[in-house]
Every structure is written in structure tokens, then in C-alpha cells.
Structure 1
Amino acid sequence: MQITPNKLKKDSTNEPNCFFDKEQNLVRAIYVGFLSSEEFQNIGLKTIETLKSTNTTRLLVDTERLKVLRAENQDWIKHEWFPKALSTNLTKMAFIEPDNPFGKASAQAANTVEEIVGKITINYFKSEAEALNWLNQ
């Protein structure tokens, strides 16, 4: 049985990761648990590299199992990650929201960068199916 990226995601629930999903033609970034700043930023930088190497315009960010996004990571997203993302072809980001209110609030707070308005459209979803449906529109 061949393991597809979707199957890999389902089987690797404890593994933060980033990869190109050939089936969906998009980049997936998966954030799990309480991540150190180094772990979080490594996934973010790998996401930028994958966006550049694949020239894809769509990113699915799975934060469903993220416990909380630390303040220093929120700042890093705003001041480091988004400026780098603007140098890629990224136009749409879909987030699968965390189940817990702290993770949800902290993830949304990081995505309030005025410079991306009109360049990258961001939306939040409760399920992968909803997120993929929107990304494929």
C-alpha cells in the first residue's frame, strides 16, 4: 500500500512537519503540542523553502493539535515569516483551527499583519475538508 501525504498526516499525529502534498498540489504545515521556538521556526522556515521550491500558491496550516502559540512565535510570524512568505507565490492560507480556545486565539493573533492584506488571503476552518474545499475554489 502506497502512503499518500494525507495518510502520512493521519498516521503521524505526534509529528510536527511540513511537506508538499502532490495529491492536493499544496504545501502542508503541521503544528502539534507545545513547540519550542526553535521547533516552531524550523517548521516555518521549511514551509517557506517548500513554497519556493514547488512554486505553489496554496498553504494548509494544520494547528488542530497545537496547544498554544507562544508570544515570541507570534512576533516571529509577523516580523520574519510573513515578509519571507511575500517573496513566494503564496496567495491563499487555510488554517485548521485548534480545538482549545488558547491555541485558537493565539494562532489568529499572529496573522494580523497589514502588509499581507490583498496579497495573501487567510481563512480559518474547523475541519480539513472545509479548508481543502476553500483552497480549491
Structure 2
Amino acid sequence: MITTYQTKIIHQSDKAKIEWIEEGKIVRKTFTGFIIGEEMKAAFNAGLACLQKNKGRKWLSDNRYVKVYKQEDSDWINNVWFPQTKKAGWKYWAVLEPKDFYGQMSMNRFIKDFAQQGIILKIFHEMDQAVEWLQGVD
């Protein structure tokens, strides 16, 4: 099991950071606050492009500081981003659960829907545990 890792920043904005963890071929998405519209879409699309380029199958969502998503952004995630990302080979998802109650409710819908569509996921509260789990799956 690899216990150390370095990240390479793929995309960054005020409320989003997308990183690549080569040790395990993991995209790590970190959102903070109330992220909407084009800023959110650009971050998700940067992660998708990174998965495609590197033939990755693992995604880590650091959502500890996420608030709720707007309905139109949730719809875009479900109807545009998710199908493309799954088609690109996404299989494993580690989620650091939001601390905000409304953020948790928003994430729980994605967790349920994505799991029903074949994504293997686990919920974590610590970054190192999430990375370790992803490094340990195929």
C-alpha cells in the first residue's frame, strides 16, 4: 500500500481545485463554499479530461466545505458530466462528506444515484484514508 503521494494541480479557481495523484491514478476534486455555473463546470470538465488523458478510474471528492448545489448545476452533473465520466472509465469514488447539513443532503442524492449506476464508492472523513482506499483498488 502506498501511503505517500504528491499532487499535480490540473485546474484551480476561487472555489475549486482539481489535482492529479499519480500514485493510484486519482483525480482529486476540492470544492469550497457555494460553487455554481461555469466555475463548477470548468472544474468538473478539467477532472474528466484528466481521467481521459491518463486512463484513470478513480475520483476523490473533497466535499467537506461544499454547500448545496443549485438545481440546474445538479442536473448538469447528472445528465452531462456523469455519463461522460462513466464512459471514460470512472469506477471508484471516495467521498469526503460535507460538514454542512444541506451539503450532505445534496451529496446524498449523487451518492445514491451514482451507486445505482455502478460506481463503487465509500464515504470518508479523513483525506489520507480516502486516498489509501483508492490506491488499494484496481
Q: If each structure's strand is expressed as a fraction of its own residues, which one has the higher value?
A: 2
Distance 2:42 2:81 in 1: 11
- Partners of 2:111 and 2:77 lie apart in 1 by 8
Q: Distance in 2 between matches of 1:15 and 1:114?
A: 23
Q: Following TM superposition, by how much is the alpha carbon of 1:15 offset from its aligned partner in structure 2, in angstroms?
A: 4.6
Count of residues in Structure 1 that have an aligned counterpart in Structure 2: 128
In structure 2, distance between residues paired with 1:136 and 1:54: 15
CA shift at 1:43, angstroms?
0.8
Shift of 1:116: 5.8
Alignment of 1:1-137 (within 5 A): 4-5=6-7, 15-113=15-113, 117-118=117-118, 120-137=119-136
Which amino acid is the alignment partner of residue 100 of structure 1?
Answer: D
Q: Which runs of 4+ in 1 moved over 6 A?
A: none
What is the RMSD of the two structures over their aligned residues, measured on CA atoms? 2.3
Cα offset, 1:40, TM superposition: 1.0
What is the Cα deviation at residue 123 of structure 1? 2.2
CA distance in 2 between partners of 1:15 and 1:31 (Å) = 6
Normalising by the residue count of structure 1, what TM-score does the alignment of the two structures yield?
0.80
CA distance in 1 between partners of 2:54 and 2:42 (Å): 18
CA distance in 2, matches of 1:131, 1:105: 20
**TM-score, length-normalised on structure 2?**
0.80
Percent of aligned pairs with the same residue? Answer: 23
Residues 78 and 111, structure 1, Cα contact 8 Å, conserved in 2: no
Unaligned stretches of 5+ residues in structure 2: 1-5
